[in-house]
């Protein structure tokens, strides 16, 4: 992740960037990798990524996930699913196959993107659309046949987290109306530059590439080598900002990502 990256990515993808750097999660992933318990991958159709869990993954749930995902990969490369109780933008939906009206209404085919589907052992179906620039996650009790004409009906009941869910509905309908399988661009949320700065500082200081860095190395990444060379010895603010960036990254990785999923200020 580069310091000059200006792309807009979804908050759920930001959260994954934090969790996949979490040392405790990476150790849990290693234990999972060494075990014989793996979800069944059932990619029956090229337009659908489908996975089925035969049992709950309680250790993954501790970190906010429904199942383990490889921390070496980005959320656009693997099926990351957040627990709906944590990702408060998650929509409750009903699924049904309606024959005779192909291409009309609100259907999987009308979304023009490849959905990722996860069926859990307790009989719930989770659907994720996107995974990087946008992230729409839905949950349904309907384990119906998945087809291009599978109709989606949003159940907007109750007032809990209503603003977050309405925001997801707006994204969903924007995706439905789009031509290229992506919703309309959204304004970049505030404080994401600080979040990016924190993750960059963590990567450098903790040596994600295999070699631990120093606060000076963090400062060089933030301000440039020339400025650090001339000011490091007398400009205390450079070191202070490097420390704050490192600590901000650590806080996000160790649990702050959950607050982002809850849409709390970070």
Chain-centroid distance of CA 167 in Å reads 16
Separation CA 91–CA 82 (nearest Å): 12
Q: What's the pLDDT score for residue 7?
A: 61
Q: Are residues 71 and 171 in the same domain?
A: yes
Q: What's the pLDDT score for residue 145?
A: 77
Q: Are residues 143 and 233 in the same domain?
A: no
Q: Are residues 66 and 170 in the same domain?
A: yes
Position 210 in a domain: yes
Average pLDDT value for residue range 69-87: 92
Q: Are residues 159 and 213 in the same domain?
A: no
CA distances 131 to 13, 33, 38, 76, 140, Å, are 6, 23, 22, 5, 19
Domain residues for the domain of 126 are 39-177
- Residue 49 above 90 pLDDT? no
- Residue 24 above 70 pLDDT? yes
Position 131 in a domain: yes
Q: Which residues contact 197 (CB under 8 A, 6 or more apart)?
A: 3, 222, 245, 248, 249
Asked whether the beta carbons of 228 and 238 are under 8 A apart, the reply is yes
Condensed to tens digits (0 to 9), the pLDDT of residues 82-126 reads 999 999 999 999 888 776 555 445 787 788 788 889 999 999 999
| Rounded to 5°, angle at Cα 28 from 26 and 33 | 90
Position 266 in a domain: no
Last residue of a domain, one of 127, 147, 177: 177
Q: Are residues 238 and 146 in the same domain?
A: no
Last residue of a domain, one of 149, 177, 205: 177
Strands of the sheet containing 150-154, edge to edge, are 40-41, 49-52, 116-119, 125-130, 135-140, 91-97, 150-154
Last residue of a domain, one of 151, 177, 203: 177
Q: Are residues 148 and 243 in the same domain?
A: no
Position 33 in a domain: no
Burial of 63 (0-12, 13-18, 19+ CB in 10 A): buried
Position 61 in a domain: yes
Q: Are residues 146 and 252 in the same domain?
A: no
Q: How many residues does the chain have?
A: 266
Q: Are residues 62 and 149 in the same domain?
A: yes
Separation CA 247–CA 30 (nearest Å): 26
Burial of 198 (0-12, 13-18, 19+ CB in 10 A): buried
The pairing of beta strand 116-119 with beta strand 91-97: unpaired
- Residue 5 above 50 pLDDT? no
Q: Are residues 130 and 242 in the same domain?
A: no
Position 235 in a domain: yes
Position 206 in a domain: yes
Condensed to tens digits (0 to 9), the pLDDT of residues 200-251 reads 999 999 987 678 999 999 999 999 999 999 999 899 999 999 999 999 999 9
Q: Are residues 77 and 170 in the same domain?
A: yes
Q: Are residues 128 and 202 in the same domain?
A: no
Condensed to tens digits (0 to 9), the pLDDT of residues 186-203 reads 766 777 889 999 999 999
Domain total for the chain? 2
Q: Which residues contact 170 (CB under 8 A, 6 or more apart)?
A: none
Q: Are residues 204 and 165 in the same domain?
A: no
Place 150 in a pLDDT band, splitting at 50, 70 and 90. confident
Position 14 in a domain: no
């Amino acid at each position: 992740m580069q310091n000059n990256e200006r792309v807009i990515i979804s908050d759920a993808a930001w959260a994954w960037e934090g969790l996949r750097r979490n040392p405790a999660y990476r150790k849990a992933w290693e234990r999972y990798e060494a075990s014989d318990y793996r979800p069944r991958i059932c990619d029956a159709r090229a337009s659908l990524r489908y996975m089925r869990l035969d049992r709950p993954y309680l250790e993954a749930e501790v970190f906010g996930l429904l199942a383990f995902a490889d921390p070496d990969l980005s959320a656009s490369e693997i099926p990351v699913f957040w627990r709906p109780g944590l990702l408060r933008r998650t929509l409750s939906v009903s699924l049904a196959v309606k024959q005779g009206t192909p291409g009309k209404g609100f259907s999987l085919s009308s979304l023009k993107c490849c959905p990722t589907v996860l069926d859990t052992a307790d009989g719930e179906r989770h659907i994720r659309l996107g995974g990087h620039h946008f992230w729409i996650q839905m949950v349904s009790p309907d384990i119906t046949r998945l087809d291009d004409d599978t109709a989606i009906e949003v159940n907007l009941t109750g007032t809990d987290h209503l603003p977050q869910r309405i925001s997801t509905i707006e994204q969903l309908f924007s995706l439905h109306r789009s031509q290229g399988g992506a919703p309309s661009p959204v304004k970049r949320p505030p404080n994401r530059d600080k979040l990016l700065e924190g993750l960059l500082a963590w990567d450098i200081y903790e040596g994600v590439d295999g070699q631990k860095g120093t606060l000076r190395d963090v400062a060089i990444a933030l301000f440039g080598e020339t400025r650090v060379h001339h000011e490091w010895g007398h400009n205390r603010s450079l070191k202070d900002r490097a420390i704050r960036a490192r600590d901000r990254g650590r806080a996000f990785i160790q649990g702050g990502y959950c607050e982002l999923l809850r849409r709390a200020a970070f």
